[in-house]
Structure 1
């Protein structure tokens, strides 16, 4: 029953719909009391031979009209009640998605995709079912049950009514115990369903790798284990669920036995007529639904309560990065980074320390260094995926912590090292950030990213469906389409996080040439392992173990001893080995021998 209190905010807001549905349920309950009463009148009239055929058909006609009215009213209250519950589903899912979009990487380190999908679908369905069917059964069972009890006690016999209700308190205590068990077991079953979702999602996402390594049987075995565990936990729920109806029917059977036994004695002794006993038994039959509904209500409400607790635990989880309140003024400005120390949550080892630089509009910053040296961490801090532990980052003289996140991120276009494409056309993927962009603007961005010609060679050109995650495209094509998507935004700051790793040297050179023209008055930050991508940068930062070990432009760094010069010469030699004919390889090796 705690679910109704938790959803009180929604019931209060939609009180008109729920009140209308409850009012109609009360009317229906009252109308359903007429047939048993009329049957009793008919039986007494027929047995006493005092009822004419005209009166008989009149009573039968009244019963038919009552049935039609009840049918129509049931249709109306279902529209009111379930319309309100379906609206709750929409709002819960909107709130859930909004919460997910506000969260930062630390949140997704704790929660897996399959679990989040399960909460947004299966758990929400359970809550909505409880807000619809649960309210229906609660009100219907209470109104109908109380109305039948009052009529039985007042119009027939209160003594026989009390006798018939003897099994009910015992039944209520047993059902309450079942409800507590169901809440815990269903919560465990939903967690198992989340694990099943995780396993399915990961297997489908990595299906290419699974086939490449011949792991089909291994993955099938793992999935079967998870499915079996989910089945076991759901069977534990089913065992509790299966106890409700037998308990109800035993209580109803005992109530009928007591009613017929006690009622027969009262008829024999002249305290009741045969028609009154018949009406009483029919009224007692009407109590079957309220009691079954009560058990069913406990069942679905406890399921909904367990599901809502899982949803609410995520909705109440505050983002690790707090949104600022200050709007960002229009116009381009300096980006100033001063990081004394930064470490990831639950990790005391610093990921970055002693990093500082100033970047003005029109400048290009290059980032390089060994894998794991802190390049992507720096880019994440600039995007405010995390906050600096000690130090700060300023834009236009304002701390990023004080700027509205939407305003700040609206100034940036980011291409990550693992580009993501939606299962849509090429044109729609490029226009993701600007859905209103014209075809000419989309093609201009594609030309800047040196992917226009590749797109034209696709079966339907820009209208080609790329498949889930861009499955029909090569890695280089996906990267360049992602770059085109970023360029179309015309953002003030462009961040390329190793976004040229899958393109060849000639294409890379062409893209960088286009970027220099496009970014003449914009800030560009490029992180790369291939140092040829950084030759035109205004300044290059060389990272190692989370700090800057070298800095300067390409000419300066390539002439100074250190990681940059060694790596650049190695890459040049590697390129030469790939491009130079075999007879000239020895000459290249001799020229680079001393280096």
Structure 2
């Protein structure tokens, strides 16, 4: 019953619906007592020879009326109880989705997407069944069972009732034992399903890589192995689940045996009529459902309890980055000051940033270069407030960035990441994602700035072309430029291009940078790149090495230093010369 206490918050929220539904269910349990008694009366009248046409029509009418009322009430309680359980599923999914949207990147680094999907699907469905079928079986087994036993004891024979109930405690004992086994095994089965879900999602996402390296057979074998584990774990659940009905049916069978044996004895003694015995056994037949429901209840509860525990474990993980109680509810703009003395990613021992300081006036462009792992990405993640816990401060528009509401901060930043993500929708919808209210002219203007407009017009359906999930139907350069157009459409105060021009040719890169320079003369831009041609026009360039700034200045100033930047620039110029077929003298 513990799971019902856990779901108490929801039952309070939907108490009116549940009360109405349970009252309807109680009336059904009472009305179900009428037909067996009517049958008993009819049989006794037949035996005594007193049954008339009028009395038969009366008994038939009573049964018909009670059946119609039961029909209407059953429809109504299903609407109330199962309707509420659907609302429960919606509520839990909303909670999970909202929680997922608040979590930082470290949360997703530690958890698999397939497992998170399993929480929002299978686990929610199991809890939904508890809030619907679980409530039904609990209340119905109690009310129907209670009313039937009272009817048997009061209207027929209390002695025979006690005799028939002798085996019933075995139902509680066996169901409790099976329930404990079911809880353990179902939790394991859900974890196995999460593994399979994650494998499926990963294989579909990486299908191009799998095919490129000819690893289809190995991947299929791995999938079969995980699928077999899911079947094996669920079979263990099914073996326990399948014990409920046979056990309860056996116990009910013993009750029937006892009632028939002792009932026959009472008839011979003259303390019961044949009609009473028929009615009693009909009532006893009505007890089959409450007993089966009792077994089902343990099944449903244990499944729901295991799944709700999994959901609670996810929801209990604290959000790492929360807004301050008095956070500023406005978009920042103005100068950017970055002063971070030390920052270490969670789980790392070595600092990712050490004494990184720069100031960027509004309208200026900052270029960041350095080898992989030098700290470029760490700077951007701190600006986006994906991580906190650093020593120092980051000031945007005269205030620390953590003084703003995170949503308002991000609204003022247009971010184009290295791994470009496009939705399985039209090109138009992908660009308009950051500003759904934008009109066609605004979307096309952003596309022109990103130099993707002409490419889009050559697509089969132009801007209406569906790009496929994650943009699989586009080239790398096209995905990059659509991502840039999407960021530009929001007209951000701060535009961050994280190595976002790596897949475009030099001529297109130059055209895009020139367009950005003209369009964003009063806005701030940060560009990280391995290709120095993308940042040599920047007002400030910083060279990162092992988490620290080793050089800072304009392109001309850094070239005069003849340091790391100078070496990188000359090396890239040499590479370009060789690619063009030039000779090195």
Separation in 2, partners of 1:423, 1:563: 42
CA distance in 2, matches of 1:261, 1:389: 81
CA contact 1:324–1:405 (8 Å) conserved in 2 = no
Q: Distance in 2 between matches of 1:505 and 1:328?
A: 41
Give the conservation status (yes or no) of the 8 Å contact 1:339–1:388: no
Task: Work out the number of aligned pairs and report it.
Answer: 584
1:541-587 CA deviation, whole Å, 9 max, x = no partner? Answer: 101111111111111112212211111111111112223xx5xx33x
Q: Distance in 2 between matches of 1:38 and 1:528?
A: 87
Does residue 1:320 correspond to 2:320, yes or no? yes
Question: C-alpha separation between the residues in 2 aligned to 1:570 and 1:365?
Answer: 22
| 2:179 aligned partner | 179
1:126-137 to 2 correspondences below 5 Å: 126-137=126-137
Identify the residue that residue 223 of structure 1 maps to in structure 2: 223
Q: Show the counterpart of 1:342.
A: 343
Q: Which range is displaced more, 401-410 or 440-449?
A: 401-410
CA offsets per residue over residues 360-411 of structure 1, 9 Å max, x none? 2101111100111110111001101000432221223322233211111111
Structure 1: any 5+ residue segments left out of the alignment?
591-595
Q: Paired residue for 2:375?
A: 374
CA contact (8 A) 1:106 1:320 kept: no
- The 3-state SS of whatever aligns with 2:433 is coil
Q: Is 1:28–1:73's contact at 8 Å kept on the other side of the alignment?
A: yes
Deviation at 1:299, TM superposition (A): 0.7
Could you say which residue in structure 1 is the equivalent of 2:576? 575
Deviations 1:194-239 (A, max 9, x none): 0000111111111111111110100011111111111111111001
CA distance in 2, matches of 1:220, 1:151: 60
CA distance in 1, matches of 2:445, 2:271: 96
Question: Deviations along 1:73-95, whole A, 9 cap, x unmatched?
Answer: 11111111111111111111111
Q: CA deviation at 1:324?
A: 2.6
Relative distance call for 1:437 and 1:18 in structure 2 (3 A) is same
CA distance in 2 between counterparts of 1:533 and 1:446 reads 19
1:50-108 deviation digits (Å, cap 9, x = unpaired): 22221112111211221122112111111111111111111111111111110111100
Q: What is the Cα deviation at residue 173 of structure 1?
A: 1.1
Is residue 86 of structure 2 the alignment partner of residue 59 of structure 1?
no
Q: Are positions 1:410 and 2:411 aligned together?
A: yes
Question: Does 2:210 correspond to 1:188?
Answer: no
2: CA distance, partners of 1:324 / 1:540: 33
SS at match of 1:384: coil
Q: Distance in 2 between matches of 1:235 and 1:332?
A: 60
Change beyond 3 A, Cα 1:18–1:331 = closer
4+ residue runs of structure 1 moved beyond 3 angstroms?
328-331
TM-score under structure 1 normalisation?
Answer: 0.96
Distance 2:435 2:329 in 1: 20
Shift of the alpha carbon at 1:261? Answer: 1.4
* Corresponding residue of 1:170: 170
Does 2:77 align with 1:77?
yes
CA distance in 1, matches of 2:265, 2:399: 90
| Alpha-carbon distance, 1:185 to partner | 0.6
Partner Cα separation in structure 1 for residue 523 and residue 410 of structure 2: 15
Give the secondary structure class of the aligned counterpart of 2:496: strand
SS at match of 1:431: helix
Which has the larger displacement, 286-295 or 155-164? Answer: 155-164
1:487 aligns with: 488
Query: CA contact under 8 A between 1:322 and 1:401: conserved in structure 2?
Result: no
| Alpha-carbon offset, residue 323 of structure 1 | 2.1
